Amino acid sequence: MYHFLGYNCYKAQRRNQEAENILKKAIAINPERSEAYLGLGRFYIKEGRYREAVMLFKKACNVSPISQQTDAAFESFDDVGQRSLAVGAQFGSYFLSNGRFREAEKIFRKIIEINPRNYEIYLQLGRCYRALGDFDSAEGCFRKAMSINPGESRAYFRLGSLYKLGCLYRIADSNRNAEQVWRKGLEKNKKNYYICAELAQLYLEEKRSQEAEKIFKHILDIDPQNHAIFLELGSNFKPAAQSAEAEEALGKESLLGIRRYIKRARSSMADPSIVREWLAKADEDYGFAKINLEEDHQFYSQICFHFQQAIEKYLKAYIAAYDLEFEKIHNLIALLKICGKKDAALLSLMEQCELLNAAYIDTRYPVYWPTDYSKEKAQKMQDAANKVAQAVKEILAKGGISL
C-alpha cells in the first residue's frame, strides 16, 4: 500500500518529497519485498539520480532474484530513453559480475535497441555470450564493436581471448587466430598492456622465447617500473647461457632472488627440497579448496580454480623431481604429457586433467568466462584433483620424496 501511495499518488501530483519519503517508509516496514525498491529506483531515475537508482535496483534483485525484476526496472528505462542508458549499463554490469548472464544479456540487448552503435555495450554483451558458451554470438559482438570504433583496442583483446579459449576445446588454428587479432590490436594501441601480456604468454607456451622477450621488453617501455615483467623477462632467459642477462633483468626486482633462481636452475632439478616446495604449495591449494567446499562457502568457481592450481603444482613437482622439460605454462594437458614421457601410465589421468584444465581459464577473470559452477561441479573437480594428486604423490613417495 505504501508503495502504491508513494509512487502512483504522490508522484502523479508532483509531490516529490512526499513520494520519496513514503517509498522509504515502505522499505523500512518490509525490507524483504522488492516493489518499494523498484518504485523508489524508478522515482530516482526520473529525478536524474542515477547512481541511487542503480543501488536500489540491485537491492530489489537481491531481495527477489527473478527475471521479472529486470522487466520492472526497465519500465523506467523506457520512460526516459537515452538519459537512463548509463543506469542500464551499470545494472547490466551488476548482473554480469554476479554470474546472472541471461539477465545481463536482456539488459544489454535492450540498450542496443535504443543505441545500436554503443561500443561499450557490445563489449559487455560479447562477454555475456562468452560466459554462456555462445562463442559465435560473442565473436559477432566483438567484431561489431571493432567496426563501431576500429581505433579502440579492447575489442581486439576480447576477440583474441575468445579465439585463445578455443585451444581448450581443440579448435583448429585457435592460437594463430588469437595472435593475428592481438597483433592488430597492438597496431591500434601499442600501450595495451593486457594484449601484450596475453601475447607474451602465448609465445611462451609455444616456446617462441625470442618473440616473448620482445613483448616483455615492449611492456617495460610502456611501464619501466613493472617488477612482474622483470621477473618474467629474467625467467625467460636460459640460465646456463644467459645468466648475466637474467641477473640484470631480475636484479632490478630482487638481486637476492635471481641469484637463488640461477643457482637452482644450474643445479639438478631433482633436488628434493625444490620438489617439496612444489608439493607444499600444491597441498595448500588443494586444502584451501577442500575446506571451502566442505564448509559450503559457495564460491564454487574459486574452489575449482584452486583445485586446478593444486594439480598444476603437483605435476610440476613431478617434472622437477625427474628433471623433465620444465615449462612456464598452466595447461594441465601439456604438463601431463611431459610427465607421460617418464611414466606413460600417468596419461590415464588425461580425462581428469581435461576437466580441471577449464577452471584456469574460466575463473581467472570472474566476468570473462563460462562460470556455470555449482557444488556438484566442484565435487567432480575435487574427485579429479584427488585422483591426480594421489597418483603423483605415490610415485614420488616410491622415489623417497614426500612431505
8-60 pLDDT tens trace? 444 444 556 777 777 777 777 777 676 777 677 777 766 667 667 767 766 66
pLDDT at residue 388, as a whole number: 96
Nearest CA to 230 out of 207, 254, 210 is that of 254
The CATH fold assigned to 1-116 is: 1.25.40
Please state, in angstroms and rounded to a whole number, the distance separating the CA atoms of residues 369 and 105. Answer: 14
pLDDT in tens, 220-269: 777 666 555 555 555 554 443 454 555 454 444 443 343 344 344 433 44
Give the integer Cα–Cα distance in Å for 118 and 390: 51
Distances (CA, A) of 41 to 49, 97, 108, 280: 9, 20, 19, 51
Q: What is the pLDDT of residues 313-352, one digit of tens each?
A: 999 999 988 888 777 788 898 899 999 988 888 999 999 9
The pLDDT of residue 180: 94
pLDDT of amino acid 247: 46
Task: Look at the block and give the residue holding cell 545481463.
Answer: 104
Give the per-residue pLDDT at 269: 43
pLDDT exceeding 90 applies to what percent of the chain? 24
Best CATH choice for the domain 118-189 from the list 3.40.50.1220, 1.25.40.10, 1.10.3720.10, 1.50.10.100: 1.25.40.10
Domain covering 272-398, topology:
Four Helix Bundle (Hemerythrin (Met), subunit A) (1.20.120)
- d(CA 217, CA 219) in angstroms, rounded, equals 5
Q: What is the distance between the alpha carbons of residues 154 and 149, in angstroms, rounded to a whole number? A: 10
69 neighbors 56 (Cβ within 8 angstroms):
no
CA distance 249 to 212: 14
- Cell for 251? 636484479
Burial of 64 by CB count in 10 Å (0-12 exposed, 13-18 middle, 19+ buried)?
A: middle
The pLDDT of residue 297? 76
Nearest residue to 159 via CA among 128, 181, 186: 181
- Flag the least confident range among 78-82, 182-186, 395-399: 78-82
Cα(261)–Cα(201) distance, rounded to whole angstroms?
Answer: 20
Mean pLDDT across 61-77:
51
Lowest mean pLDDT among 165-169, 354-358, 390-394: 165-169
CA–centroid distance for 49 within its chain: 32
How much is the mean pLDDT over the chain? Answer: 75
Please provide the CATH number assigned to the domain covering 208-267.
Answer: 1.25.40
- Report yes or no on whether pTM surpasses 0.85: no
Does 208-267 match 272-398 in CATH topology? no
Every domain of the chain and the residues it spans: 1-116, 118-189, 208-267, 272-398
DSSP state of 47: T
pLDDT beyond 80 at 208: yes
Q: Where are the alpha helices (DSSP H) in 166-294?
A: 174-188, 193-205, 209-222, 227-236, 239-266, 272-294
For residue 284, pLDDT beyond 80: yes
